[in-house]
Homo-oligomer: A and B are copies of this chain.
Amino acid sequence: MTITPPALSVFETLESEVRSYCRGWPAVFDRAQGSHLHDEDGHTYLDFFAGAGSLNYGHNNPVLKRALIDYIERDGITHGLDMATTAKRAFLESFQNVILRPRDLPYKVMFPGPTGTNAVEAALKLARKVKGRESVVSFTNAFHGMSLGSLAVTGNAFKRAGAGIPLVHGTPMPFDNYFDGQVPDFLWFERLLEDQGSGLNKPAAVIVETVQGEGGINVARAEWLRALQDLCHRQDMLLIVDDIQMGCGRTGGFFSFEEAGIVPDIVTVSKSISGYGLPLALTLFKPELDIWEPGEHNGTFRGNNPAFVTAAAALNTYWADGQMEKQTIARGEQVERALLAIVDELGGEGVSFRGRGLVWGMEFEDKPRASAVCARAFELGLLLETSGPESEVVKLLPPLTISTDELDEGLRILARSVRETA
């Protein structure tokens, strides 16, 4: 495929320098369907990024599209603040019947504003309000968002530097396997909590991702998550799982923490919850934590009703039975085999991989190579992004609805890109 340099002029002249993905993928995209995007020059790209996890059901999924167009056609409420609407009720009922009840999860649902960072901000506020303490523990290489509350518990130094004020009230602790098994889990964290002279401000809560997506596809073991939950209980801290990127089926089950058998006190959900790439976010919490006063946290777009419509359709279509989870795990095994083959081809030198469900990362010791692989993949028609603190990990995040053939095709392009960047 030959790529003609696209006419990016208005992006370059009018849009801020802060723009980012458009630099790595220099195309002007026009349409998309399922696992593919099409640019205005007629090129087609296979999508192994899925809107950073926002398109678990693919682009413009036809079932959701039908529901969405019908809703718009019939003049359903579009913007509803936090008014009661029929669309919101349908979503809440689906979420209760399809997701919460079968999993025996007791959560109350809050609509904190339609983006992930809104959900995290609401979670942190609530935890602090409930416990009357201001400190929150996060983990190395965590990513929770760009507004000041979320940024304070985010690890990335480059993002943090953007704050323009000292980010405080958060303390980082080592994520699972941070020292390659050299140090017992929670040795440092627990000791600080127990030592009255440690200098750690007693935390209101711990916020954790089960798999760190932006941080480099770092996968927490189930036993580590259970031990973390135990530690939180023993030390009177709330456990917040940020399931914004890893929830909605990305790791197999609807929530990524199901496999570990834990029940976090607070859960944040966004990205793929609308199913269609429309902005929507939820903050879930145990009923006894629901001490909010009416309107104490609000937001103009927290009732994005078209997103409720596609969200309900997605839940009813994909989560009424266990097929989606099984398929994701099968697709994940397909990825795993392919990555193993790539590593074998390299003789296991300078590369490693890890993942769960349909999120995988391939880390290069020669860190810039990860970006080179993504650049070559783009030329070959595959959208791939890096992650990790130094962009040293190639991140695989295909739609969950991807076919085995499409997955194979993408994995072949990946293998070729690795080969050609040797």
Residues B201 and A290 in contact, CB atoms below 8 Å apart:
no
| One of A219-227, A257-265, A274-282 at the interface | A274-282
Residues A72 and B68 in contact, CB atoms below 8 Å apart:
yes
How far apart are A193's CB and chain B's nearest CB, in angstroms?
10
Residues A118 and B117 in contact, CB atoms below 8 Å apart:
yes
| Docked complex Cα distance between A191 and B295 (Å) | 25
Q: Does A187 contact B (CB under 8 A)?
A: yes
| One of A77-85, A229-237, A328-336, A343-351 at the interface | A77-85
Given contacts A196-B390, A199-B153, A201-B166, whether A79 and B108 have CB atoms under 8 Å apart is: no
Residue numbers in B under 8 Å from A17 (CB-CB): 108, 290-294
Residues B198 and A172 in contact, CB atoms below 8 Å apart:
yes
Residue numbers in B under 8 Å from A150 (CB-CB): 147
Residue numbers in B under 8 Å from A183 (CB-CB): 182-183, 187
| Docked complex Cα distance between A112 and B18 (Å) | 9
| Docked complex Cα distance between A407 and B367 (Å) | 62
Residues B11 and A89 in contact, CB atoms below 8 Å apart:
yes
How far apart are A306's CB and chain B's nearest CB, in angstroms?
7
| Docked complex Cα distance between A278 and B153 (Å) | 29
| One of A19-27, A319-327, A358-366 at the interface | A19-27
| Docked complex Cα distance between A122 and B167 (Å) | 15
Residues A278 and B296 in contact, CB atoms below 8 Å apart:
no
Given contacts A30-B85, A33-B75, whether A294 and B129 have CB atoms under 8 Å apart is: no
Given contacts A85-B28, A141-B197, A148-B121, whether A162 and B129 have CB atoms under 8 Å apart is: yes
Residues A294 and B19 in contact, CB atoms below 8 Å apart:
yes
Residues A22 and B84 in contact, CB atoms below 8 Å apart:
yes
Residue numbers in B under 8 Å from A195 (CB-CB): 140-141, 155, 389
Residue numbers in B under 8 Å from A11 (CB-CB): 84, 88-89, 92
Q: 6 shortest A-B CB distances, which residue pairs?
A: A128-B164, A79-B277, A197-B389, A172-B199, A147-B147, A20-B295
